[in-house]
Amino acid sequence: MLLEFQNITKSSLLFGSTWLVNSFTITAVLLLILLANLVTYYFHIKDVRPFYFLLCGSILVLYLLPLHKLNIHNYYLKATLIEVFLNIPIFLQGLFSSIHLKNPLIKI
């Protein structure tokens, strides 16, 4: 929830503080969590270590990439890219939770 609040504040810097920013961010979070559950359901993942490296990499990129680099002219493309980019760690955490709930014997 803290990451979602941070993503709302970052998105509001690029779009302005409106209800549209909140709806974009909350919709992106819910869709990526649903996508993580679908990936876990259809693909039987045995090793979660590559996803931990992806999580660390995505957090590092979010920390190092300046936000103004994502400011492009096409509004809908910008909204889609920013919300997916900012919420990738939530998707990866959804994968971890789904995998471990589906098969708790998988080792980290």
Residue 79 lies in a domain: yes
Task: Establish if 107 belongs to a structural domain.
Answer: no
Count the domains in the chain: 1
Is residue 71 in some structural domain? Answer: yes
**Could you write out the DSSP letters of every residue in 14-75?**
HH-SSHHHHHHHHHHHHHHHHHHHHHHHHS-----HHHHHHHHHHHHHHHHS-GGGG--S-H
pLDDT for residue 69 is more than 70:
yes
User: Encoding tokens for residue 94?
Assistant: 């959804």
The CB-side HSE value for 8 (13 A sphere, CA atoms) comes to: 14
pLDDT tens for residues 41-55? 898 888 888 888 999
Does residue 80 have a pLDDT over 70?
yes
- Interval 93-108 mean pLDDT: 77
Mean per-residue pLDDT, 84-105: 85
Residue 54 lies in a domain: yes
Q: Which domain holds residue 84?
A: 2-102
